[in-house]
Chain A
Amino acid sequence: MQGRVFNTLIAALAALVFSAALQANVEVYNFDKPEDRVRFYSLTDELRCPKCQNQSIADSDAPIATDLRREVHRMIQEGNSDDDIVNFMVKRYGDFVRYTPALTNRTWILWGGPLLLLLLGAFAIMRMVRKNQTSAVSDEPEETTQEDKAARMQRAEQMLKERD
Chain B
Amino acid sequence: MKQNSRLKLFLPLGIFLVLCGFLYVGLFLNKTDLPSALLDEPFPEFQAVGLKDPSQVITRKDVIIGKPALVNVWATWCIACKVEHPFLTDLAERGVAIIGINYKDDRAEALRWLDQLGNPYLFNIADEDGRLGLNLGVYGAPETYLIDAEGVIRYKHIGIVDENVWQDILKPRYEQLQVK
Q: Enumerate chain A interface residues (CB-CB to B < 8 A).
A: 50-51, 53, 63-64, 67-68, 71, 90-96
Q: Is the CB of B34 within 8 A of A51?
A: no
Q: Is the CB of B134 within 8 A of A71?
A: yes
* Bound form: Cα–Cα A125–B90 in Å: 67
Q: Is the CB of B37 within 8 A of A92?
A: yes
Residue of A nearest to B37 (CB): A94
Q: Is the CB of A92 within 8 A of B134?
A: yes
Q: Taking the complex as formed, is B104 at the interface, i.e. its CB lies under 8 A from any CB of chain A? A: yes
Q: Is the CB of B135 within 8 A of A92?
A: yes
Majority-rule SS of B interface residues: loop
Total A-B pairs, Cβ < 8 A: 43
In the complex where A64-B139, A92-B134, A92-B137 touch, is A50 in contact with B104 (Cβ < 8 A)?
no
| Shortest beta-carbon distance from A50 to chain B in Å | 4
Q: Known A-B contacts: A67-B129, A92-B136. Give 13 more (CB < 8 A).
A: A50-B137, A50-B139, A51-B139, A53-B31, A64-B130, A67-B131, A67-B133, A92-B38, A92-B135, A93-B34, A94-B36, A94-B37, A96-B35
| Shortest beta-carbon distance from B66 to chain A in Å | 26
Q: Is the CB of B139 within 8 A of A94?
A: no
Q: Is the CB of A96 within 8 A of B34?
A: yes
| Shortest beta-carbon distance from A36 to chain B in Å | 20
| Shortest beta-carbon distance from A91 to chain B in Å | 6
Contacts of B140 in A (CB 8 A): 51, 64
Interface residues of B in 124-147 (CB under 8 A from A): 129-131, 133-137, 139-140
Q: Is the CB of B134 within 8 A of A67?
A: yes
* Bound form: Cα–Cα A142–B41 in Å: 68
Residue of B nearest to A74 (CB): B131
| Shortest beta-carbon distance from A118 to chain B in Å | 17
Contacts of B37 in A (CB 8 A): 90-94
Q: Mark B7-36, 1 if CB is under 8 A from A, else 0.
A: 000000000000000000000000100111
In the complex where A63-B104, A63-B130, A67-B130 touch, is A94 in contact with B34 (Cβ < 8 A)?
yes
* Bound form: Cα–Cα A67–B129 in Å: 8
* Bound form: Cα–Cα A47–B136 in Å: 17
* Bound form: Cα–Cα A95–B41 in Å: 16
| Shortest beta-carbon distance from B9 to chain A in Å | 15
Contacts of A94 in B (CB 8 A): 34-37, 137
* Bound form: Cα–Cα A94–B130 in Å: 18
The 30 listed contacts between A and B (C-beta, < 8 Å) are: A50-B34, A51-B139, A53-B31, A64-B130, A64-B134, A64-B140, A67-B130, A67-B131, A67-B133, A67-B134, A68-B134, A90-B37, A91-B37, A91-B38, A91-B41, A92-B37, A92-B38, A92-B134, A92-B135, A92-B136, A92-B137, A93-B37, A93-B137, A93-B139, A94-B34, A94-B35, A94-B36, A94-B37, A94-B137, A95-B35
